[in-house]
Amino acid sequence: MTRAAGRLALLSMMSLMLTTFSAADAARLAPWREGPRAAFTLDGVDGGSRSLATFKGRIILVHFFATWCEPCVRELTSLNALARATRDRPLSIVAIDVGEVDLRVRAFLQKLPVDFPVLLDRDRAVARSWKVSALPSTIVLDADLVPRLFVEGDLDWTGSDTIAALARLDPAIPLRPTTPTASAAATVK
């Protein structure tokens, strides 16, 4: 990597760091007002690759995060609680780590394991094509993979308002909030 390319990558990462959100920002799901997003296929931390198309037929939460992002860590815990509560429902969660090396992401997930696939957007190409400008960010797609909702910032995915918004996309998703389990509430130190 040239020195100029390294500086550009550092500036890009610093820009994302400055636009991360805290719990005080009161993130909420909002209706999607933009057009469709490009399909993708990314490598997973498990060594396989996943295509967005494999999730067709289910509501999918496409969650963009980074291991250095404190609000992202809190939100991964909340998403994991949602994944466990909706295990037998037509809802999938896929997390996309933005711009980090594989080893760092794997080490992070050893400390904070999750019950959903984690994919690697090593060159930030998917984050750029999906116009992700802040971390964490999540886009909720319907069963036809059409974006319907989004949120920038740390959201409690087990809250009653959030569950109700997801249930409006598919009635098979529970209408009641869930309670995170002790293991889902663990945090990375």
The reported pLDDT for the residue numbered 156 is: 93
Average pLDDT over residues 49-77: 96
pTM for the whole thing?
0.80
84 in Cβ contact with 157 (< 8 Å): no
pLDDT exceeds 50 at position 188: no
From the list 74, 44, 78, 105, the residue with the least C-alpha distance to 188 is 74
Site of tokens 């996943």: 50
SS3 83: helix
Say how far apart CA 132 and CA 140 lie, in whole Å: 13
Distance CA 172, CA 112 (A): 28
Instruction: Give the pLDDT confidence score for residue 87 in this predicted structure.
Output: 87
- For the cut 70, the answer to whether the pLDDT of residue 40 exceeds it is yes
Higher-confidence residue of 86 and 26: namely: 86
Q: Is the pLDDT of residue 175 over 70?
A: no
What digits encode the pLDDT tens for the residues 72-125? Answer: 999 999 999 999 998 888 999 999 999 999 999 999 999 999 999 999 999 999
* 25 pLDDT above the threshold of 50: no
CATH number of 40-189: 3.40.30.10
- For residue 53, count other CB atoms closer than 10 A to its CB: 10
Answer left, alpha or beta for residue 124, where phi above 0 means left and psi between -120 and 50 means alpha. Answer: left
Distances from the Cα of 146 to the Cα of 69, 151, 181, angstroms = 27, 15, 31
How much is the pLDDT for 117?
A: 97
Mean pLDDT score of the chain: 83
